[in-house]
Chain A
Amino acid sequence: MVSAMEIYMLLPKTNCKKCGLPTCMAFAVALLGREKKIDECTPLIEEKKYEAKLKKLREVMAPLESASETGLIIHPEKCFGCGNCVVACPVNVAAEPTRCGVGLGPQGEKVILRVEDGVVVCNNVKECRRFGPNKVLCNACTATCPSKAIEFV
C-alpha cells in the first residue's frame, strides 16, 4: 500500500497552493484520502519537467481506484476464504449474532463481508464503520486477515 510520504515525493514540493491546500504534503494526504484528484495539481500536469513524476504517481495510485467508498481493497487472488473477517466484523456480528457471532457463515443480506465462491466479497458499504464523515477507524477485518488479502487505503 502506498503511503502519503511516497505520494509527496512524487509531487512538485513547491507548496504553490494552486490546488487550494496550503502545502504539497497536505495535498498528498488529501490524494490518499481521495478527497482530491491528481489533475487538481496543475503544475504537475502542465509543466514538462514533472512528466516522469506524473507517470509514476499515476502508477502508484492505480490500485487505489478499485477501493470501495470506505477505502477497502480486496485482493481476491490472496484470499483463503477463511472467514476470519466475516466473523470479526462488528457490523456482521450485530446483523447476525446467532450466525456470524458464533462462527457460522451469514445467511441474510445485511452483512458487509461474506465469502462467496471461495473468496471474500464486500456488500452494504454504507453500514461500515468507516463510511461517511463520522467514521471510526475500525480495522477488525484487516487485522484478522492471515494473507493480507484485504486492506484499507
Chain B
Amino acid sequence: MAICTGCSLLCEDIELTVKDGDISHVRNLCRKGHGHYQALLTERARPMIDGKEVALDQAIAKAAEVLHSSKAPLLCGWSNATLEAQTAGMSIAKKLGASICDTSPPCLGALMERIISGRIPTCTLDDVRNFADVSVFWGSDPSNSHPRHLSRFSYYPRGEKRQKSYEEERTCIAVDVRKSATATLCSNYYFRMQPGGDGEFIESILATLDGRIPKFGDKKRMIELGTILRKAEYGVIFPGIGMLYSLQNRLELFETLLAKLNEIATFKVVPMVERFNSRGFYQLLHAPGNSLAAAAKGCDAALVVGSDPLAELPLATARALARVPLIVIDPHRSLTVDAASVVIPSAISGMEAGGTALRTDGVKISFEPIIESDLPSDEQILAKILEAI
C-alpha cells in the first residue's frame, strides 16, 4: 500500500508493483496520480551550480552560502513538501529572518485562515462520506482537480448514515460558470452563473432562504436550490478557486451564507486545496501567508522547495523572482530548475522519502518510502542548510 502525493486527497489504497527501482504496474491510482509519478520519474534533476554539474554536498554548501550572504531572502514553494520539511523551512526562516510563503493562489489563504480559526465550520472528508447528504461544488471541478474526490468521499461511496448513497440519499450540486465534468454528473442540479457573479449568487440564495424573491439569476432555479439546501440534513460546500477569485475580499458574504445555512441545518466547508500539503503549511504558519507578489519584488535571493513558481505564477511575479539568484530543491527538472543558480535534487516525497502531510481537510497522513533512493529527502537537505547557515 502506498500513498499518492499527486493531489491533496492523499489516497491511501494504492497498490504498486516495483521492478528494478521503477513502477511497473499500479492499481487504484487515478490518471492524475499516475501522470504525477510518471512525470517525476523522468528527467530527474542533478546537483548544479550556475549550470555546471557538481557534487551534492557542494551544491548544499553553496546554497547555504547564498542564503547566508543575502539580506532579504525569500523561502517559497512548500506546498509539495512534507510537514517535517516545512518545519525545517520555518526554522531556517526564523534563523535568517527571511520571509516565507507558498505558491498557492493568494485568495486561498483568506479562506484557510477562516477555516483554521474556526470562523467557518469545517469537517473531515470521512464525515462527508458518513453523514453528508448534500455536496455543493462551488467554482470547483473535482473530476479534473481531485479525480477520486467524488468516488472516495463526496458522492458515490456508502457511508455510515448514507447506505443508499448516490442512488437515493445524496444530492450533488455544481455551481459553476461552465458545464464542467463534475457538473455533467450533477445533471439537473447544475446551476450556472455569470463569471464574477458569485456575490450576487450568494445574495440570491440568502433571499430565497429568507422567503423573499431573489433579485438575480433565474428565480425558479434559485428557489429550487434554496429548497434543496433547506431540506438538507448535513450539507457540505466545497469552494474552489473559481469562487475564491470571484469573491476576492468579500468572503464575509460566504461567512454570512454559512451562518444562515447553519440556522437551518448542519453545513460545513471543506476547502479544495490543490497541492498535497498546502493545508499543512497554513496550519503550521497559523496566519495567512505573506503576499508572494510583494515578497518576490523585495527579495535578493530565493529558496524554492518543490514547486515551479516561474512556470505557475503570474508573469510580473515570476519575472521579479527570476532576477534574483534562485536555489531550487526539486526531484525533477522544471522551468525554475533550468533558471536556478543552485539546484539540489531531492527524493520524491511519498515515493522515495517518507514523512507526514495534511490532507485537504486537515487529517494527518503519514507515508513510508516505497522505492529506495540515494538522494536525501527535502527535510534532510534543509537540515543540512540549517546547520551551515
Contact = CB atoms under 8 A, between A and B. Distances in A.
A and B are partners in one complex rather than unrelated chains = yes
B173 to A, nearest CB: 15
Contacts of B32: 80-81
Contact of B13 (A82, A84, A105, A144): A105
A82 B129 contact: no
A116 interface: yes
A86 B151 contact: yes
Interface in B13-43: 13-15, 25-35
A115 interface: yes
B153 interface: yes
A99 B150 CA distance: 15
Given A146-B184, A147-B143, A82 B29 contact: no
Contacts of B153: 103
Contacts of B13: 99, 104-105
A87 B13 CA distance: 14
Nearest to A106: B28
Interface in A92-113: 93, 99, 101-107
B30 A118 contact: yes
B99 interface: no
Contacts of A101: 157-158
A117 B28 CA distance: 8
Nearest to A143: B185
Contacts, number: 99
B165 to A, nearest CB: 9
B297 interface: no
Contact of B185 (A87, A103, A146): A146
Contacts of B31: 79-82, 118-119
A144 B151 CA distance: 10
B156 interface: yes
Nearest to A93: B158
Nearest to B152: A103
A91 B25 CA distance: 24
Interface core residue of B25, B159, B181 (most chain A CB under 10 Å): B181
A146 B184 CA distance: 7
B148 interface: yes
Given A80-B181, A146-B185, A117 B15 contact: no
Contacts of A93: 158
Contacts of A86: 151
B152 A115 contact: no
A117 B34 contact: yes
26 contacts: A80-B31, A80-B32, A80-B143, A80-B144, A82-B31, A82-B147, A82-B148, A83-B30, A84-B155, A87-B151, A88-B156, A88-B166, A102-B158, A103-B129, A103-B151, A103-B156, A104-B152, A105-B15, A105-B28, A114-B28, A116-B27, A117-B25, A117-B29, A118-B33, A146-B150, A147-B143
Given A81-B33, A102-B129, 13 more contacts: A80-B30, A81-B31, A82-B151, A83-B148, A84-B150, A87-B151, A101-B158, A103-B148, A103-B153, A104-B13, A114-B28, A117-B29, A146-B182
Interface of A: 79-84, 86-88, 93, 99, 101-107, 114-119, 144, 146-147
Top 6 nearest A-B pairs by Cβ distance?
A: A105-B28, A118-B34, A103-B157, A81-B30, A81-B31, A146-B181
